[in-house]
Chains A and B, each alone.
Chain A
Amino acid sequence: MEFGIKGVEYNFFGHSIMITQTNIVTWVIMAILILFAVTVRIALKNFKDVPESKFQNFVEAFVEFFDNFVTGVMGQRNKVFVPYFMSVFTFLAIANMIALFGIRPPTADINATLAFGIVTFFLIHITGMRVHGLGHFKEFIEPSPIMLPIHIVGELATPISLSFRLFGNILAGLILVELFYHLMPIFLKVGVPAFLHAYFDVFEGILQGFIFTMLSMVYIATKSQPSHH
């Protein structure tokens, strides 16, 4: 039973780079999403004010759902984040569910989830600096300068907890399903794993993508509130 990530090593001008399963699957999911976006763009000139085709209905429902969702959590002033969170949620939902096809999900790799966590970290602080200027850093010294290390650790805990929550949940599902397949007799391997897949891949996948997106939105929204000093 092998739980590691397989990859190939390449040499570029003396530096060695590893291209892993995660990279390839991420590129495939990106290709699917980009293809969908380009299709919508090309079909955009045939869209009418009152939708007639099912495709236009679907696209409008999709965009409107995320518009209401994101502005509901973050407020109308943060409308600029809607496309980013739409992409993140769609990518995470597809990436977590791809285990249904027997492919190891890219989010079962700590590198992928940590990348998302670090992007959220930078979004939080850049938004804070845009809204509050340099006063954003003054709050680290708030009650007294002794609190500075505690605040720094608290801020660093945000991307780490976000990324490890996603990574741990998806990896746990992966290991449990693989253990089940490895240890059960053959008559239990047909039909019964469907319930495990339905819970660990579909429900947990969408739920964890939703949690990651929702927590990122809440962190950014609290930092972007104009303060009244």
Chain B
Amino acid sequence: MIEAKALVLACSAIGAGIAMIAGLGAGIGQGIAAGKAAEAVGRQPEKKGDIIQTMLLGAAVAETTGIFAFVVAMILLYANPLVELLTK
């Protein structure tokens, strides 16, 4: 039969992979931000500096949920609390 620790490790690895699906939202959000910024620069080329600053700010905030998913994946792979619970 499957021993407990192997099962926990396997499911953690699958979970880490599934967690990274959140990168989809981050990619789409940042793409929309960049698209709107390109539109704005096309309309007012002399304000390029301000527009780029605002775009970077918005894109980094939109990236946050992707980063949360990355942190969850890293914890599952490298600092797994479930394995420690098992060997207590």
Residues of A within 8 Å of B60, CB to CB, are: 165, 207-208, 211
Residues of B within 8 A of A168 (CB): 67-68, 70-71
What separation, in Å, do the CA atoms of A171 and B60 have in the docked complex? 15
A167 touching B71, Cβ below 8 Å: yes
Q: Within 8 Å of chain A (Cβ to Cβ): is B57?
A: yes
Question: Across the interface, do A214 and B57 meet the contact criterion of CB distance under 8 Å?
Answer: yes
Task: Select from chain B the residue with minimum beta-carbon distance to A161.
Answer: B64
A140 at the interface (CB under 8 A from B): no
- Collect the chain B residues with CB atoms within 8 Å of residue A215's CB: 61
Contact check, B57 vs A172: say whether CB atoms are below 8 A apart: no
B74 touches which one: A171, A210, A211 (CB < 8 A)? A171
Q: Is A12 positioned at the interface, with any CB of B under 8 Å from its CB?
A: no
Q: Is the Cβ of B67 less than 8 Å from the Cβ of A164?
A: yes
Contacts of A211 in B (CB 8 A): 56-57, 60-61
A1-36 contact mask (Cβ, 8 Å, vs B): 1 or 0: 001100000000000000000000000000000000
Find the A residue at minimum CB distance from B71: A168
**Closest CB in chain B relative to A7 CB, distance in Å:** 15
Distance in angstroms from A40 CB to nearest chain B CB is: 28
Minimal beta-carbon separation of B86 from chain A (angstroms): 20
Chain B 19-47: CB-based contact to A (< 8 A → 1; otherwise 0): 00000000000000000000000000000
A47→B28 CA distance, assembly (Å)? 51
Query: Would you call A71 an interface residue if the criterion is a C-beta within 8 Å of the partner chain's C-beta atoms?
Result: no
A residues within 8 A CB of B67?
164-165, 168-169, 172
Q: Say how far A222's CB is from chain B's closest CB, in angstroms.
A: 15
A103 at the interface (CB under 8 A from B): no
Known: A165-B64, A167-B71, A169-B67. 5 other contacts (CB 8 A): A3-B78, A172-B67, A208-B60, A211-B56, A214-B57
9 closest A-B pairs by CB: A168-B67, A211-B60, A168-B71, A165-B64, A3-B78, A168-B70, A165-B67, A172-B70, A161-B64
